[in-house]
Amino acid sequence: MNPNVIGNITNIIDPYVKAIRACKTKAELTQLLETEWAELCPDALAQARELPDDESWLWVVKHCRQKRHIKRVNELAGAILLPATILKIGELVLTFGIPDGCAYNQLHGSA
The pLDDT value given to residue 43? 98
The pLDDT value given to residue 77? 96
- pLDDT tens for residues 48-72? 999 999 999 999 999 999 999 999 9
Nearest-angstrom CA–CA distance, 42 and 85: 9
The pLDDT value given to residue 3? 87
The pLDDT value given to residue 21? 94
pLDDT by position in tens, the chain (length 111): 888 889 999 999 999 999 999 999 999 999 999 999 999 999 999 999 999 999 999 999 999 999 999 999 999 999 999 999 999 999 999 999 999 999 999 998 865
Cα angle 86-92-97, degrees, rounded to a multiple of 5: 120
- The residues, ordered by sequence, that sit 6+ positions from 88 with a Cβ below 8 Å of its Cβ are 103, 107
The pLDDT value given to residue 110? 60
Does the predicted TM-score (pTM) go above 0.75?
Answer: yes
Alpha carbon distances (Å) from 101 to 54, 90, 106: 32, 11, 9
